[in-house]
Structure 1
Amino acid sequence: MNPPAQSPAAAAPAPTTRPLRGQLGTYLGLAAVLIGMVVLFSSLSEYFFTAETFITIANEVPALTVMAVGMTFVLIIAGIDLSVGSVLALSAAVTAAAILQWKLAVPAAAALGLATGLLCGAITGAVSVAWRLPSFIVSLGMLEAVRGGAYLVTDSRTQYVGDAIAGLAAPWIGGVSSAFVLAVAIVIVGHLVLTRTVFGRHVVGIGTNEEAMRLAGIDPRPIRIAVFAVTGLLAGLGGLMQSARLEAADPNAGAGIELQVIAAVVIGGTSLMGGRGSVINTFFGVLIIAVLEAGLAQVGASEPAKRIITGAVIVAAVIIDTVRQRRAGAA
């Protein structure tokens, strides 16, 4: 006798949301780490605990923040995107070329830069889905290809756009740039999409049990492509933010920033194995990375020392995530 057919609702994984108390505990834990770092660096440097330091940090993190939001979704579906730094550079380069060489209006040039990021992300997602290739390999190839594109567009030279898009980095509230306000708004939107929409539930479901999603009649392929496309779009926005702050598009911009992005997401508690993550926690991770770098710079740490310490923090976050996963599996 054949077993009864399983309904789509029964087959679909029910992505579990953490109890409010558990979420609050995580927020408080990350906030405690952040405050502890501020206290530590304030005791080591008399210049750290100043409004100028915190405004500088706020104005330097928008690009990292928006890229980390996209990477949170990518890691939740058990993927990874190593090309975001190169996409940042290419999007900024296309925007600069559109303004300086093609004489497009600034809004049209910015839209073209964002579309470039969206296209790069969509290609990464489509190739990995169509040929069932690990996103690690595909995005690694895109990292090199897109970086080459940035060199071609800029003729391997920094393009100075001046104040054409500087409004995005202009001081707005208490010296904090409009880019930071926009980045915080994107964090809030990302959190709501992940926790309050069907798309967010599908993202978590794919990372938790992709086969169960298929049995529920939900095709994970377009969702995967959409996640990578949005991540590319946010990397493109990060390129605009960085160009606005520096008033230039550098083809070498964003080199290595993908490691900072992944570090911020992992420090925020998003699982490298997929199925679990929080955009709010990712924002805490971004702030922790930013405060760590600013504090180390102010206490006079050398560049090698800063890289060693930052790397140790990343490894510690991965170890904590692995221990957490094992305990959850044993429970």
Structure 2
Amino acid sequence: MDPAEDRDRRGISVRSIINSAGIGLALIALIIFFSVFTEHFLSPNNLTNILTQITINMILAVGMTFVILIGGIDLSVGSVMAFAAVVAGKAITLPGLGPVELIILATGAGLLAGVACGLINGLVSAYWALPSFIITLGMLNIARGAALHVSDAKTIYSFPFAFEEFGSMLLFGIPVVFLVALVLVFIAWFILNRTVFGRLLYGIGNNEEAVRLAGHPVFWYKVAAFAICGLTAGIAAIVYMARLNISSPIAGIGFELNAIAAVIIGGTSLNGGRGSIIGTLLGAFIIGVLANGLILIGLNDFMRQMITGVVIIIAVILDHYRAKYMSR
């Protein structure tokens, strides 16, 4: 290997480590701050609450990472989650079937609804080369309207007991739904770091034309990224139902903003081509710890929203300087 190339590769590796370490240090600093200034932050019950509360955002952020890596964005995941939850809720309350059949049917229906919305986002955006934020903004309204229409604007409830029990189950003190999210993070990490598909997603974000000239079907890779994002919205819908034992057509409002925030705070560039799923995991933890800690301090909803907004803006500014540093 050429010595200059070796130095460059080692330099990029060191910068990546520094970037991930910086996010981890920020999370540790938040934990220390809230541990000192609040009484119950490190209590077992509160730690369990944090893990439970960040689960849905973590799942949505995993899918959002795939989309942002190719230089896109999905503003519809909150509404798609609500639509998938309503579809699954309708399926799980059908008469004449046993609990196991209902749970399988509902899970499949919810995941299919999420994937379908993601495919539409990807196909329209990629085929006509339109900005994804416009297409997904349209899907945001379509999915929300569909959720309200399918449910007749009513909350769906009365799920099988086994389904409800899953949402509150603990394994060695850790919520099972959080463990599901962790498995999803591992799968996403493997895809992005150990498969050709994942490497090509990075390549599309860095230089789409180069990937196309190399003979790869960029169109289908972009569609697949949005389909994965839709799939994770469907998974989040099932977890949401299991946790709260309801399917509400107004669920997920603003969830897309938290998912985007977790991805950007985690170091994934809005321009695409750079980022990691581990960073997204840490970003989701930062969002969750911040929200929980601010509640324990006693801040009202308005102040919490303001502080979260400031954190998002700071993260985008840091992403700007991080991009300049990584390009050296």
Q: TM-score range by the shorter chain?
A: over 0.9
Larger helix fraction of residues: 2
Identity of aligned residues (%): 42
Match of 1:112 among 89, 101, 109: 109
Is residue 81 of structure 1 aligned with residue 79 of structure 2?
no
Q: Aligned partner of 1:170: which letter?
A: S
2:116 partner letter: L
Tell whether the 8 Å contact from 1:59 to 1:169 is kept in structure 2 after alignment.
no
In 2, Cα distance between equivalents of 1:151 and 1:290:
28
- In structure 1, the residue corresponding to 2:227 is in which secondary structure? helix
State whether structure 2 residue 164 is matched by structure 1 residue 147.
Answer: no
SS at 2:170 equivalent: strand
Instruction: Rate the CA distance shift 1:20–1:280 in 2: closer, same or farther, 3 A.
Output: same
1:15-66: CA deviation from partner (whole Å, max 9, x where unpaired): x898554443333322211111111112211111211111011112221111
Partner of 2:235: 237
TM-score, length-normalised on structure 2?
Answer: 0.92
C-alpha contact (below 8 Å) 1:125/1:226 kept by paired residues: yes
Match of 1:127 in 2: 124
Work out whether residues 72 and 270 of structure 1, in 8 Å CA contact, stay in contact via their aligned partners in 2: yes
Q: Quote the residue 1:274 is aligned against.
A: 272
Give 2:257's aligned amino acid: L
User: What residue in structure 2 maps to residue 57 of structure 1?
Assistant: 50
The 8 Å contact of residues 12 and 326 in structure 2, kept in 1 or not, is answered as no
Structure 1 residue 298 displacement after superposition:
0.6
Structure 1 pair 54–18 and aligned structure 2 pair: CA distance change class (3 A) = farther
1:315 CA drift (Å) = 0.4
Match runs of 1:29-48 below 5 Å: 29-48=22-41
1:96 maps to: 89
Shift of 1:179: 1.2
Find the counterpart in structure 2 of residue 208 from structure 1.
206
Q: 1:183 aligns with which of 160, 181, 184?
A: 181
In 1, the alpha carbon distance for the partners of 2:75 and 2:10 equals 28
Cα distance in 2 between the residues matched to 1:17 and 1:138? 39
Runs of 5+ in structure 1 lacking a partner?
1-15
Measured in 1, the distance between the counterparts of 2:145 and 2:247 equals: 14
TM-score, normalised to structure 1's length?
Answer: 0.91
Q: d(CA) in 2 for partners of 1:164 and 1:119? A: 27
On the 8 A contact 1:266/1:285 being kept in 2, the answer is yes
* 1:168 and 1:241 in contact (8 A); partners too: no
Post-superposition offset of 1:218:
1.0
Distance in 2, matches of 1:246 and 1:175, equals 19
CA RMSD between the two structures:
1.6
- Structure 2 segments unaligned to the other structure (5+ residues): 1-8
Secondary structure of 1:82 counterpart: coil
Q: Is the 8 A contact 1:161 1:249 kept in 2?
A: no
In 2, Cα distance between equivalents of 1:256 and 1:312: 16
Partner residue, 2:6: none
